[in-house]
Structure 1
Amino acid sequence: MRMAMMYSRGVKLVFVCVCGTAMVMFVGTSWMNSHKEERAVIDQCGTNFTELSKLDSVKSLLPKASLKYMYKANGCNFVPRPYKKLTAKENHRKNRCVENFKLDHARGNGQFWEGETQYIRHTHHKYLTSDSIVLDIGGNKGEDAEAMIQAYHPGIYIILEPINSFFTALVKKFKNNKKVTLYNFGIAAKNDVFNVNIVGHGGDATSVFASNKGGKCELKVYNTTDFLYRLGGPCIDIDLITINCEGCEFEILETLLSSGLISRFKHVQFATHPNLKHLQRPVERYCEIQQKLARTHVLTYQYKFCWETWRRRSRA
């Protein structure tokens, strides 16, 4: 019996060897397993960023949008800015919302995932037409996009998906649909690049706000306002923005509200993820968003702290 010591990929391997053949088989198997793990990470993440990962790739909707969706006030540059601070009544309602979080979250989450209820996020949008514009933040595997495109055939459907492997799959899924535009990035409060691990069922729980932050897959995000101005900004009414991006909904909604761009969306649908490890004050932020959103929109369905949709009160 001999004791052997070898190095493989910078890792010291110590083992007892009965014969040379056994030693070679062990080292070979170890290297192959390591190679498979690295290959799996590449397959999950996708390869390098594409041209559609750049903010410069965003094309304005103005040449394509129907005239009835154009907004012409002060040269399309004027966006009403709402009050940033809550009133005394709004603060009272916000505090009640925070106090009732555990009960409301349990009820909303339980009801939404019971039976077929969850598909309200697809079936609720019968106002969509062949002229409609839809902005889908967090395309993932394209389940929501595919359901709404098949049901309503909107004229313009824009999907943002920052995970390269998912983006590639979406390109393949919608390659024959000229009404779908895809971008390989997300949006947030500011431009940034994150490293995450792909987690969840097929990667659908991947988040920069979860414990998987610091992984091997890169995600690009851009400032929400910059993206929307490149898209057409305050010059266009968008029928629906639907947001499901594992925690990014807070920054997106807060940016839309603080900039006044929320007034350009006829319907706002979003999922809420209040229990992600690295989210700052998610319950308080959700409850404040509720109060500010109620200034310009009204609820059309809600499973509190889970999924909901708001409709614009009137043209701003």
Structure 2
Amino acid sequence: MALKAPSPYELKKAFMYPRKLYMRHRENLEPGFLRSALELHYYRPAFYDWMGAVHANPQLLYEADINADSVVIDAGAYTGEWAQDIMDRYGATLHAFEPDPRNFKQLNRRAQQNDTLIPYRYGLGDKTETVQMALEHLGSSIFTDTSGANGVPSAEVEIRDIAETWHSLGLDRVDLMKINIEGAEFPLLERMIETRLLDKVDCYMIQFHEWHPGAYQRRRRIRKALARTHTLEWDYHFVWEKWTLK
């Protein structure tokens, strides 16, 4: 049986692994959220800049011109921490999409205590399909190895076409959309451009992921499309960026 050639994504991750080990030794952090977050971003300078910005303004990722009448989409809701902060701050109606079954279980429990939080056990993308997802808590992804050979468990999850979902939920305008979906942001946003949904959202908070095939070119094309209708408020390269409607 022929061996499967590594993808460009896997090659990039392998190339950066020595740097991750070096930085892990230099930072000497205890295992936990901060170390996990740094390693997800391979200790890039932009992530340190982001941490500095959040230290100066802890509300940076939660500031938006919304209120209790607003509609918010959280694509990649994880267990609902960001959603909870948005609801506590603004009282907005929040549609939270999370395909990872372990994360969704916690998200659903949170929704039972919040009438304005509506959880969906599927992800958003450019088409409706069932795929395997590697379950890595902070970095669960449909683009990483799902064979189990690396010790990471996987599960079959559902992804739904953003355009079909938009119409089935009866959405018109969305006041805020947060996107953090481990590489799936590229096909999702490309589909929104294709179906003329991009300008239906007043404010975007997006985390693009660098270690995916064509990431730089695809991000440039998406940002060019966004710039026609939105203004870039702030940008931490391949960490987080915020766009608001002109």
Residue 63 (structure 2) pairs with residue 124 (structure 1): yes
Indicate the residue corresponding to 2:86 in structure 1: 148
Mapped contact 2:146–2:154 kept (Cα < 8 A): no
Residue 205 (structure 2) pairs with residue 269 (structure 1): yes
Correspondence for 2:195 among 259, 271, 277: 259
Indicate the residue corresponding to 2:160 in structure 1: 222
What displacement does 1:106 show? 4.1
Mapped contact 1:270–1:307 kept (Cα < 8 A): yes
SS where residue 202 of structure 2 aligns? strand
SS where residue 238 of structure 1 aligns? coil
What displacement does 1:300 show? 1.3
Indicate the residue corresponding to 2:33 in structure 1: none
Identity %: 24
Deviations 1:159-191 (A, max 9, x none): 001112211111111212111111100011111
Mapped contact 2:233–2:243 kept (Cα < 8 A): yes
Mapped contact 1:195–1:213 kept (Cα < 8 A): no
Indicate the residue corresponding to 2:219 in structure 1: 286
What displacement does 1:213 show? 6.0
Correspondence for 1:308 among 232, 241, 245: 241
Aligned length: 199
In structure 2, how many angstroms separate the alpha carbons of the residues matched to 1:254 and 1:110? 29
Gaps (5+ residues) in structure 1?
1-104
Deviations 1:191-227 (A, max 9, x none): 111223322xxx1111111234665411110111111
Mapped contact 1:209–1:247 kept (Cα < 8 A): yes
TM-score by length of 1: 0.59
Segment of structure 1 superposing worse, 108-117 or 258-267: 108-117
What displacement does 1:309 show? 1.0
TM-score by length of 2: 0.75
In structure 2, how many angstroms separate the alpha carbons of the residues matched to 1:207 and 1:116? 28
In structure 2, how many angstroms separate the alpha carbons of the residues matched to 1:161 and 1:290? 25
In structure 2, how many angstroms separate the alpha carbons of the residues matched to 1:150 and 1:212? 36
Cα 1:106–1:166 change in 2 (3 A) is closer
Indicate the residue corresponding to 1:247 in structure 2: 183
Q: In structure 2, give the amino acid aligned to 1:286.
A: R
What displacement does 1:273 show? 0.9
Deviations 1:35-89 (A, max 9, x none): xxxxxxxxxxxxxxxxxxxxxxxxxxxxxxxxxxxxxxxxxxxxxxxxxxxxxxx
What displacement does 1:288 show? 1.1
Deviations 1:233-270 (A, max 9, x none): 5xx21100111111111111111112111111111111
In structure 2, how many angstroms separate the alpha carbons of the residues matched to 1:213 and 1:248? 19
Correspondence for 2:170 among 232, 238, 245: 232
Cα 1:299–1:142 change in 2 (3 A) is same
- Of the two, which has the highest radius of gyration? 1
In structure 2, how many angstroms separate the alpha carbons of the residues matched to 1:160 and 1:120? 22
SS where residue 175 of structure 2 aligns? strand
Correspondence for 2:133 among 188, 192, 196: 196
Q: Note the 1:1-316 alignment, pairs <5 A.
A: 106-114=44-52, 116=55, 119-125=58-64, 127-154=65-92, 156-199=93-136, 203-212=137-146, 215-233=153-171, 236-275=172-211, 279-313=212-246
Q: In structure 1, give the amino acid aligned to 2:143.
A: F
SS where residue 204 of structure 1 aligns? helix
Q: In structure 1, give the amino acid aligned to 2:131.
A: F
In structure 2, how many angstroms separate the alpha carbons of the residues matched to 1:271 and 1:117? 20
Cα 1:120–1:107 change in 2 (3 A) is farther
Mapped contact 1:206–1:212 kept (Cα < 8 A): no
Mapped contact 2:75–2:177 kept (Cα < 8 A): yes
SS where residue 113 of structure 1 aligns? helix
SS where residue 116 of structure 1 aligns? helix
Cα 1:144–1:258 change in 2 (3 A) is same
RMSD: 2.0
